[in-house]
Structure 1
């Protein structure tokens, strides 16, 4: 009797072993291409658990394909078969690469009978979500746009495109938290530096989050990447002024000047600070010191030119607001002398700016106006010709 029980037990165990059939992983791919995604998912889910298939790279490759298809399907019958199918797909592809780093076995055959490699498939998948995001953005559906652009990040986490687009879409939809998250990844993790990205972060931290310390940190990081950018220098000064740290800013700049007395950028920054504080005289002195340190330092030359010119412009506005009385007309004549003197004082700076950057339209148009006001006809003809050449006129 005992022998009979033993035989039955052995047979039962054998039957159980026989029942655990090896999953036919190729059938998962066939089911996927036939649109039978539930069947395909069942096969690959079993395959990653089965002793004979769990360590096969193709098992994980096909699992990646199946779950990627689950993420892109428009068939509602299959849309809820898995949570986060794209993440599961990318994990499966990564596991396949871990098993076979060369990945020579990972391809499918297209309708023409040609092999399509895994990397090519991933590029197509990336492009699919990018296009979906662009379409959503163009339809002003920024929430979906962010969703699709974020999926491109899952597929190619080192590619900056998905983060740029996701940040812009989120900011357009006033989802500033998501926008900032994407922008910080760009500058901190991907070493991507753009003036627009920094300006967006400065705006979000300073104006939206009201966090001046964070805004100041971003401004200073932007200055490290773009040391010649005037706007970042001004923004730093404005932020410090807003934080009631004018004395700190001044002390910091002057301390740096003591260590580097020949550094024109430091004098320039000091000039920007004084200009923002509406102290034109000290600003002019600081810009001149920057030029003394480096006569070809364009930013200081340009700012000094603008500063001198604006003095004349303010006087012109005041003069134009005078009445027609005899006293007003007398005052206007006296003011015109001062205006002409200020314009003449501005000329050398504008001409130097034009010498350093000869195709700057603002500089040329300003010189054109000054030459006309001062009756400097020969120079007027020359600069007008330069402008026409820029416009493609003969």
Structure 2
């Protein structure tokens, strides 16, 4: 008898707790309706660990109200990115609960808002990336991807942002997902300007963009072809594995990728880069030999081999590749820029040697020899910088480099003429 009494008492207490939860949810909804969004969230947080004992209908209502309150804060530009991410997570929990229970009260309303939320997340992610808030940008990109998993470029951008934010564990997890779905990045970007925000949105398909244009929400469509990202993805995976001390796994990633994608030159270049990183020059030469044979006039391949050689401090080979690139394509501006960088890096080394010298007659003689060598190096840089400046006179970095060379060589007339054009 006493035992039955205790059970009844427990049930009464449990029923009272459930009723209290219902009252709290209603109170939060009332606060939200009156505009007190933060108050609504505070109330909901107070029953966060009790809500799991509620029935599906109340749990769905809890997460729906929470999502609305968080979205309302984001609308008011209060922690916009963070609150949008949290709102999406609450909404997804609502949909999950309703899907499992078979009772859909809020799901349709939530899903109809996903498109605009996704666009907002992408815009905020872009801004956060520019402000070097890489982890925030990564989380926003990833939530945008979860809202539309056909738009895999958001997953790629999330992984890249996690690398920039030095969260290598999460970055590697996303890269592994990209590898598993054989993401290449090759495709087409379908851009259009949002009439309200005046920002450019990227659509997953041309059909999606056309719907928005026809609806009058977007205008000024622009299409852009995307190049393969596989090389970068597998290279980053390999580097992260290598960083964790698993060099064999790093090599296997590239090897497996090449088997699956034999025509992807970027993967061959990535494997060559790995050999350079490990100072395995024989394997590097064996890897690039077939590329040079089958693509002797592919300017991008030749240029990238120059970049790899420069990274390996093989200056002569890098210079030869860059020179071959501009022979194939005289307007290949990056090759001219990198040729000048090679020379200016050597100038920096000479300057360091000059700074170490004293004022004794012997050392002053060495100084004069080094100065002639340095000035010759500066002079050899001029044609490359002039060519790059001619092709892109708006590039401030090119102009500054050329001005510094003119200044070092006391080429006053040339300096003044370029200065007048640049500023």
Question: TM-score band, normalised by the shorter chain?
Answer: 0.5 to 0.7
Secondary structure, counterpart of 1:296 in structure 2:
coil
Structure 1 counterpart of 2:380: 345
Please name the residue that 1:69 is paired with.
61
The equivalent residue for 1:297 is 332
**Deviation, structure 1 residue 368:** 0.8
The 1:334–1:367 alpha-carbon spacing in structure 2 relative to 1, beyond 3 Å, is same
Distance in 1 between residues matched to 2:116 and 2:236, nearest whole Å: 31
2:243 counterpart (194, 207, 210): 207
Residue 370 (1) aligns with residue 405 (2)? yes
1:288 is the counterpart of 2:280: no
Q: State how far apart, in whole Å, the 2-side matches of 1:263 and 1:166 are.
A: 31
Residue in structure 2 matching 1:180, options 162, 172, 184: 172
| Counterpart in the other structure of 2:36 | none
- Note the C-alpha offset of 1:354: 1.6
Residue 37 of structure 2 is matched in structure 1 by none
Rounded to whole Å, the distance in 1 between the matches of 2:341 and 2:120 is 50
Name stretches of at least 5 consecutive residues in structure 1 with no aligned partner.
1-29, 43-62, 75-83, 97-105, 109-115, 131-139, 389-394
TM-score by length of 1: 0.55
Q: Distance in 2 between matches of 1:365 and 1:288?
A: 23
Alpha-carbon displacement from aligned partner over 1:336-379 (angstroms, at most 9, x marks no partner) = 22222221111101111222332333322211111012121122
Please give the TM-score of this superposition, normalised by the length of structure 2: 0.52
Residue correspondence of structure 1 range 77-92 to structure 2 within 5 A: 86=94, 88-89=96-97, 91=99
**Counterpart of 1:360?**
395
Equivalent residues in 2 for 1:141-220, closer than 5 Å: 156-158=148-150, 163=155, 176-185=168-177, 189=181, 198=233, 201=237, 203-208=239-244, 210=246, 211-213=249-251, 216=254
- Flag the structure with larger Rg: 1
Counterpart pick for 2:274 among 224, 235, 239: 239
Local SS of the residue matching 1:262: coil
CA contact (8 A) 2:269 2:288 kept: no
The answer (yes or no) to whether the contact 2:305–2:318 under 8 Å persists in 1 is yes
Matches within 5 A, 1:1-394: 41=55, 68-71=60-63, 86=94, 88-89=96-97, 91=99, 117=109, 119-120=111-112, 156-158=148-150, 163=155, 176-185=168-177, 189=181, 198=233, 201=237, 203-208=239-244, 210=246, 211-213=249-251, 216=254, 237-388=272-423
Tell me if the contact between 2:277 and 2:312 (Cα under 8 Å) persists in the aligned partners. no
CA distance, structure 2, for counterparts of residue 127 and residue 293 of structure 1 = 42
C-alpha distance in 2, partners of 1:204/1:294?
35
Residues 150 and 296 of structure 1: is their aligned pair in 2 closer, same or farther, counting only changes over 3 Å? closer
* Mapped contact 2:184–2:229 kept (Cα < 8 A): no
Q: Secondary structure at the match of 2:324?
A: helix
Distance 1:169 1:342, change over 3 A: closer
* Number of corresponding residues: 293
- Show structure 2 runs of 5+ residues with no match: 1-21, 30-50, 67-91, 123-132, 186-227
* Structure 1 CA distance for aligned equivalents of residues 290 and 264 of structure 2: 22
Report if the CA contact (8 A) 1:347-1:367 is conserved: yes
